[in-house]
Amino acid sequence: MSELVDPVQRAFLNVERSATGQRWVSRLDQAGQNRALAIAQVHGLSDLIARVLAGRGVTMDDALAFLDPTIRSLMPDPDTLTDCTKAAARIVAAIAKGERVAIFGDYDVDGAASSALLYRFLHHFGVDAVIYIPDRIFEGYGPNPTAIGQLIDAGAQLLVTVDCGSTSHEALAVAEARGIDVVVIDHHQVGAELPPCVALVNPNREDDLSGQGHLCAAGVVFLVLVNALRQLREARDHRAPSFDLLALLDLVALATVCDVVPLKGLNRAYVVKGLIAARHMQNPGLAALFRKAGLGGPVTPYHFGFLVGPRINAGGRIGDAALGSRLLTLDDEGAADEIAAKLDELNRERQVMEVAMLAEAEAEALAEYGHGDSASVIVTARENWHPGIVGLLAARLKEKFRRPAFAIAFDPNGRGSGSGRSISGFDIGKIVRAAVDEGLLVKGGGHAMAAGLTVERVNLGRLRTFFEEKAKNTVRDLVSAETLKIDGALGAAGANLALIDLLERAGPYGAGHPQPIFALPAHRLRDSRQVGSNHVKVTLESQDGSRVEGIAFRALETPLGDLLLSKRGETIHVAASISADLWQGTRRVQLRVIDAAMAL
């Protein structure tokens, strides 16, 4: 992960400018090294684990608890979340009255997992519940008046929105006007004006002091259900003792990983314990997806984020948005296999579409901006693009050009739906909101790292100019000061399974707790070749003759890929993360090459 550091800090291995244009620096400054030494000495931990923990802000006092996160020690009293007790009480009342409950969720993994989590809870207590997931293209994000009206017409007596609803004033007013209670469980930013509802549980609302704003929606739903289960037990509901809420942590972990929320505090416990639950394969839907994805070995965050997540998201992007949530509620293995097969097929279609669209986007970007050095913000647009995939295009363009990037899909009427992704340090949501204020966008919003917008084609040129003017000074400074933080150096012989086992003690890694990156100094590039459509595989040899294989994903026709393919036989420095790959039942070391530089 690229970050900004003090430019005075000495370059690691004297790499001032790598293949990707970054300066390598040690993750630990002197204070960090002192902290690592204290962690190792006081707790009897290995120097490597101590360095990894210290480099991620873990203190000496917190080190042991960090290595063994538990739900019991990290979960707050749910009552500390504003409106949590009220929300739980209304759900408990629906159970007691046997009301029909409509669950309105978002179309991504967090929405699907949150909806399934609540559905499974209600189903255990005999509630007639239905899940509604809006169509990304035709309905957009969050509750809409038409859908709310239809759910009420179908008999809903309580509406619970999950992973959405915090800003859905107009839609929820429909429910209020018809006398239907609404409970909102969300985690997105919300202003001072709250929507009409009996309870809004959102740790990011201004009057919430719980300190749990880093949770995804499923993490918040879990806390509401903890509260509800407590109330049901106090009410002596005979079904409460037999409900194992912890067994559903696989859904919470899935959402936490896929929504890329920081893996700190309660989120770490959610993922660590949720992985254990997932490995038991008790959710038939998850198990079916793992089978379709060809899972080998125990479930890891990688499998959630790169195997299961994209398949669930494929339904929301180009197919039936409700497929993912439906799959996660199933107990019938046959039905689960059918939906998993459909999602797998949709994901393959999405991949084919993404490859074709990305080629067009990259060609347009190169024609418009060259290699990107003269631009601050990349904006690409086409009429034939699928609007459900533009977010993926923006992310790929951001990676390739190391600039904030937008991809916009125009419909035949000249209205475009677009997504943007940003680099660390530049608030892309802010410039989108500024473009709305300037009248350049129909609508738009987002946060620092991602944004969405709607624009008329006639304003596209002015929008490009506006973004460039707003971003040019900040982005160029950020790019010129970009650094890659290195956790330590190791040779090919040291990149082994024992090291991986050691590193796993400090995991899982993800947002807010980045995967350790190691430098392999002065290794001979024995071999390099293209694999797949755009990856580069390498074989590295250290001075003692030890070898290790690695892969640079999506590196073809990038500066990193060009260096690796053109410098066979030469000595280079490589920056990589290390993990275990299971191949034909054998566990082996796999480097993920992130960067490289010539060894001078």
Range of the domain at 530: 2-25+487-598
**Are 469 and 524 within one domain?**
no
Q: What CATH code is carried by the domain that includes residue 545?
A: 2.40.50.140
Residue 344 contacts residue 327 (beta carbons within 8 Å): no
How many whole angstroms separate alpha carbon 8 and alpha carbon 44?
33
Beta strands 547-552; 586-598: pairing state: parallel
- CA–CA dist 348, 342 (Å, integer): 10
Residue 325 included in any domain: no
Is residue 397 assigned to a domain? yes
Measured distance CA(469)–CA(492) in Å, rounded: 46
- Of 236, 255, 280, the domain-final residue: 280
Return the structure tokens found at 129. 């519940």
Structure tokens at 352: 């084919």
Residue 471 shares a structural domain with residue 538 = no
Strand partners, 510: 513
Q: Which of 447, 479, 511 is the last residue of a domain?
A: 479
Residue 64 included in any domain: no
Residue 1 has pLDDT above 60, yes or no: no
Residues 552-589 have pLDDT tens digits of 999 998 999 999 999 999 999 999 999 988 777 788 89
- pLDDT bin (cut points 50, 70, 90) of residue 400 is confident
Whole-number pLDDT of residue 191: 80
- Mean of the pLDDT values across residues 210-227? 97
Going by pLDDT thresholds of 50, 70 and 90, the confidence category of residue 446 is: confident
CA distance 576 to 515: 10
Measured on CA atoms in the order 133, 138, 140, 143, is the torsion positive or negative? negative
Q: How far apart are CA 471 and CA 300, in angstroms?
A: 38
> Same domain for 378 and 508?
no
Instruction: Check residue 586 and give its pLDDT.
Output: 82
Does some domain include residue 291? no
- Split into its structural domains, the chain has a count of 3
pLDDT > 70 fraction of the chain, expressed in percent and rounded: 98
Nearest to 352 by CA among 404, 383, 392, 325: 392
Domain end (from 455, 479, 503): 479
Do 471 and 534 belong together in one domain? no
Q: Quick check: 172 and 196 in contact, CB under 8 A?
A: yes
| CATH number for position 212 | 3.90.1640.30
In angstroms, rounded to a whole number, what is the distance separating the alpha carbons of residues 145 and 143?
7
Question: For position 7, what pLDDT does the model report?
Answer: 44
Strands (E), 163-305: 181-185, 199-201
Q: What is the pLDDT of residues 484-506, one digit of tens each?
A: 999 999 999 999 999 999 999 89
Q: Which pLDDT value is given to residue 5?
A: 42
Check whether residue 385 and residue 442 sit in a common domain: yes
Residues 169 and 263 in one domain: yes
Asked whether residue 515 is domain-assigned, the answer is yes
- Do residue 165 and residue 143 come from a single domain? yes
Same domain, 507 and 464: no
Per-residue CA distances from 377 to 365, 421, 430, 539 (Å): 10, 10, 14, 36
Say whether both 97 and 228 belong to one domain: yes
Please report whether residue 579 resides in a domain: yes
The 3-class secondary structure across 437-468, one letter per residue, is: HCCCCCEEEECCCEEEEEEEHHHHHHHHHHHH
Q: What angle do CA 53, 56, 58 make, to 5 degrees?
A: 55
Q: Is residue 578 part of a domain?
A: yes
pLDDT at 260: 87
Do 111 and 239 share a domain, yes or no? yes
pTM of the model: 0.91
